[in-house]
Chain A
Amino acid sequence: MSAFLQRIGKPGRGALLAAPGVFFFAIFFVVPLVSLFLLSLDKPSIGNASVQWMFDFRNFERFFGRALYYEAAIRSAGLAALVSAITLVLGYPLAFLIAKTTNVRRNTTLMILVLCAMQLDMVIRLFGLMVLMGDVGIINEFLRWIGIIGDEPLPLMYNFTGVVVGLVQFSLPFMVLSLVGVIQGINPSLEEAARSLGARRWQTFWKITVPMSMPGILAGLLLVFAISFSSYVVPTLMGGWKVVVLPIHIFQQVAELGKWQFGAAIAVVMFAISFLVMLIYQRAAAQASGGRI
């Protein structure tokens, strides 16, 4: 009985605890966002950025009616999904390495290296990537030198590949950081037990380690999806104007053409897609943790 009362008592106190955060989000996130959504339901009018309460759907009709825009939506989501997958494949081993390295100095160094990469500013990072991946960049010059390619350079930048590489490079630290703690937190006796029962390293890895690190995998995938889906700078600087994703359209509409209403409509579509992905994540996460010991 007392336990039950304590549990009722908790929400009361908890609600007080969360009040400032909820209040903050309500004023500074919900209200601006709702205004933006209302703006998307106004008739387009250049130079006007205030809500007119028209409840007109023509902006959405325009979006879904022209291939230019709905293809961009598919491109955005596909790009984000691809980047998430690649980042997982590259990031998991690195996270595994950091988690399993017992030498404190070594794993601290690895962590610091990962955090350093996070800290490099995006625009100057472009210079670094251009030096590496450009037509006369280090990679191409190397391939040319060892004779794999002739005069024609491998087009690594200013196209879809460039954007994927740029986004993976940018999101890797986030994926790694989502995974290290979880992998480390796996009870080592589980792995030891499996091994003493005769399981090889790879079997242990696939049957114990990976499934048990699922919460981290899902969190990392979600985070990287969000980051790549909403990225404006990387597709702009690395895509050579061939990879036009939704954030670029929004920026063009609002910041250059003054068409706030249409820009807001595109933002609404982005929000809807991400919310869907978020719900998928939660479903998957619930199932994964259902299997936990």
Chain B
Amino acid sequence: MALADKSIRREAAVPFVLKLLAIMALILLLAPVVVVILAGLNSGDHLTFPPKGLSLRWVIAFFQSDAFLPAYLFSLVLAVVTMIISTILGTSIALFLARTEFRGKQMVRAFFMAPLMLPGIVLGLALYLFYLSSGLGLVRTMPGLVIGHVLVTCPYVIGTVNAALVGFDTTLEEAARSLGAKPLKTFRAITLPVISPGIIAGSVFSFIVSFGQFDVSLFLTPPDSNPLPIALYSSLRYTFEPTAAAAGIFAIFLVVVSMLITAKLTNLRQLANVNFS
């Protein structure tokens, strides 16, 4: 690389105004997080800020809690199941939409995005009514809840996989096929590596959206197994407790750990690519 390129690279740093706005955005994002973390580490008796002192007592209370810990684990399982189903369905839909041309394709695309457009509570209620009248035995069950979660997370997967497919050169696939490779092999060897960042990104989105999902879960939650957002809401209706803040801390902890792991597998920035058109 010539010296001229080096100087361009140095000057390619982010302009000051943009950096300022970026920092403002980061502060906006993280300030509530910091408050909640500190509140959860409070050594005092009730939820307050600033904390009277720092202690792990509420974190321990969270581990011993009959309401929050099971809810946390349930949310985890729910999010993983939702992630798997959403990723499979979303990827297949995205592939289909990217490869085929037909009239009204745009409407169909819009249609698959539609679950995001409706309030989660409407979706939840519509599904609840549907389960009751259809007699499929889904009312108040976990599969019923999963279905609701898959509906609202699928669009994200479709978006990220579609973004990865937009620049994909289909002639590569055609070349492989004309060389005699079967479709499945073509998919695994050629297509998959290219779109895998999109698939991983979609999975991550699905997981996070499902884990934090409140609106859809409100009417579909089976009794006795609450997702964490519902458990927090039900508890906070009555009493604002530091245990709730500790639960929040643990959710964040989960993200940090899983993202650190993911970062080993792929550059995290690759995850962020979305296209719905």
To the question of whether A and B form a pair in one complex, the answer is: yes
B-binding residues in A (CB < 8 A): 2-3, 6, 10-11, 13-15, 17-18, 20-22, 24-25, 28-29, 31-33, 35-36, 49-50, 89-100, 104, 107-108, 110-125, 127-129, 131-132, 165, 168-169, 172-173, 176-182, 184-185, 191-192, 195-196, 201-202, 205, 215-216, 218-220, 222-223, 226-227, 229-233, 246-247, 250-251, 254-255, 263, 267, 270-271, 274-275, 277-279, 281-282, 285-286, 289
CB neighbours of A173 from chain B (8 A) = 29
Q: Is the CB of A33 within 8 A of B126?
A: yes
* Smallest Cβ-Cβ distance to A285: which chain B residue: B277
Residue B185 CB within 8 A of the other chain: no
Q: Is the CB of B32 within 8 A of A17?
A: no
Q: Find A123's partner among B5, B117, B232 (CB 8 Å cutoff).
A: B232
CB neighbours of B122 from chain A (8 A) = 36, 247, 250, 267, 270
CB neighbours of A172 from chain B (8 A) = 25, 28-29
CB neighbours of A104 from chain B (8 A) = 267
A47 to chain B, nearest CB (A): 14
Known: A28-B127, A271-B118, A286-B277. 15 other contacts (CB 8 A): A14-B96, A18-B92, A20-B89, A93-B17, A94-B22, A111-B263, A121-B229, A124-B247, A125-B36, A181-B273, A196-B8, A250-B119, A270-B117, A282-B106, A282-B109
Interface size class of B (residues with CB under 8 A): 35 or more
A-binding residues in B (CB < 8 A): 4-5, 8, 11-15, 17-22, 24-26, 28-36, 39, 47, 49, 88-90, 92-93, 95-97, 99-100, 102, 106, 109-123, 125-127, 129-130, 133, 147, 150-151, 154, 159, 163, 166-167, 174, 177-178, 183, 197, 201, 204-205, 208, 211-212, 214-215, 228-229, 232-233, 236, 240, 244-245, 247-248, 251-252, 254-256, 259-260, 263, 267-277
- In angstroms, Cα B272 to Cα A185, docked, is 10
